Structure 1
Amino acid sequence: MYRVNHLVYRYQTKPVFSPCNLEIARGEYLVLMGDNGSGKSTFLNLLAGFLKPSEGTIYFMEQSLTAWKKDPIHKKKYYAHLGILFQETDTQLFNATVYDELAFGPRQLQLSEHETAKRINDCLNLLKITHLSNQVPYQLSGGEKKKVAFASLLVMNPDVYLLDEPFAGLTKESEKLFKKIIKNLHQLGKTIILSTHDYLSICEEADSILLFDSAVTRYSKEEIEANANLLQHLKRY
């Protein structure tokens, strides 16, 4: 689904992470790990097309992101494949009510109001936030905002989920719910790419990790399980 060739991003003149080469298959569950400031969020923003690589090329379904974004029609098609959850959810909530927030995407696709309402109600129920439907998003708590932002992705049923620290700021109960939903999405064949500091809690579901350390290194679940030192190293994040 994604292919990354010699990807480099520089902040001013300093590379954020070492050159990265990898492929991300359709339906893969890839976890990004590393210290704060190691480049995980930058990598997600590069995949999302919000940042332009300093060097290298990102391909999605064998077309470069440059090609996908060359005109409004192709760009719209690319973003129809993606569900993006930012670390700071305030940046993606801008409608008057929670219902309108969830309705924004389906209405852009010109879905019927009946289909839009059905999707919204399903997602509100799934995330247990039906009581927030008429609330103003910016007046909600941090955890509630994250649920609304996540619901706004789910309502679009994208192929790929780019999730930046999706469990941060959640109660234990809400974190458990998020992990269950993400696990179900993976089982449905969705591609999951998420950053977290808590690999051990999702290691059963994840296929592999991309570790942002002195180098950007990919490890399969099997490699991690067979390497006690690596597993111990991951616990420190």
Structure 2
Amino acid sequence: MQQATVAVLFGGRSSEHEISSATAGGVLGAIDRERYNVIPVGITRDGVFVLEKDDPARFRLDADKLPQVVDNGSRIIWPMPGGPRELRVQRANGSVESLGEVDVVLPILHGLHGEDGTVQGFLDILEIPYAGGGVLDSAICMDKHFMKIALEADGIPTAPGITVRRGRWNAEPGVVRGEVAELSYPVFVKPARAGSSVGVSKAHDESELAEAMAVAYAEDDKVLIERGIVGREIEVAVLEGRGSEPTRAS
């Protein structure tokens, strides 16, 4: 069987850099190397694309020291649109070598500049296939405010909530507090465009609201406040079918 070449893209500029790196460690350890040739591409906190070592242990999740991508001097050279999907690397000494043609990219990125449609648009421009949602899907799903609008428009109930921009909170905190009280406590306060529970707090009463807002605004200038819902948490994976095959849900 001819091996397909998979570029695993991870790290990134968001506050979830370490979580992305740890996720990539799990992916690198799970890929069947008899079926796939793997190219680990890390993105540093400064947004530099580097060639990483194909070593899952280097990115294993360790509570004492979370993994991250560091600048090792290499630079990934992406292909031009319309031509061969050949990925190249410039080494720290200036030499350039081919890594082969990429069949698909796995964007194992969390947060902004990864889950929000930006890297998906980048790969679309380069005409390189990738796993996961496209630009619009990713952008809507990343923004909790617009995701709620999309779900409610399709008749899917969501937790009662309000979206508060930083400027409004600074200008009329009393009005916002009143609107939150109408939701009834406890409430969850979360940045609209962050993931992995980053910046999320539970405010049990009004005395905890200001601190929760400050934590959320440290991640985003748009904050979603939702009434706490008691119930089971159920995660569902959805995989689009190939060609005429139906979509599957777990």
When the two structures are superposed, what TM-score results if normalisation uses the length of structure 2? 0.25
Larger of the two Rg values belongs to structure: 2
When the two structures are superposed, what TM-score results if normalisation uses the length of structure 1? 0.26
Higher helix share: 1
